[in-house]
Structure formats: C-alpha cells, structure tokens
Amino acid sequence: MKMQEIRDLSEKDLDVKVRDLSEEYFKLRFQHGIRPLENTSRLRQLKKTIARMKTVIAQRRLAVD
C-alpha cells in the first residue's frame, strides 16, 4: 500500500487495517515456522506496511496535541 493511500484512510480504518495485517503477519510467521513459505517476501511487505500505518497514526496523534 502506498503512503498516500494510507494517509487517505481515517484513523478508525487505519486501526482496523493494522489489526488485520498484524493478524495475517502472525499467521504467516507461524506457517513459516512449520514449513517454508513459497513467497517469503510477503512477510517483509506486511511488516513494512504495518510500520507505515503505525507511523501515520502516531503523526496524527502528535499533530492533534
């Protein structure tokens, strides 16, 4: 997901997306522990997207204060 797309989401949508992506990341990590994944780059993509979303959430909270 691009930064502009992330910035266009509301804070509630961001919270929901972060929760969903974190759950997906956990499941993929668990599966990778049992057997190798075909597409391990998906783990990196999810991790970066979650970090981007958390960064936007933090920026918005700091801007409000």
Q: Is the pLDDT of residue 1 over 90?
A: no
pLDDT per residue over 13-47, tens digit each? 999 999 999 999 999 999 999 999 999 999 999 99
pTM over 0.85: yes
* Spatial contact of 18 and 6, defined as CB atoms under 8 Å apart: no
Mean pLDDT, to the nearest integer, of 6-12? 95
1: three-class secondary structure by DSSP: coil
CATH number where 59 lies: 1.10.287
Amino acid 44: pLDDT: 97
Q: Which two tokens stand for residue 37?
A: 């994944």
Q: What is the largest CA-CA distance in the chain?
A: 46
Domain that holds residue 28: 3-64
Instruction: Report the distance separating Cα 41 and Cα 44, nearest Å.
Output: 5
Total count of domains within the chain: 1
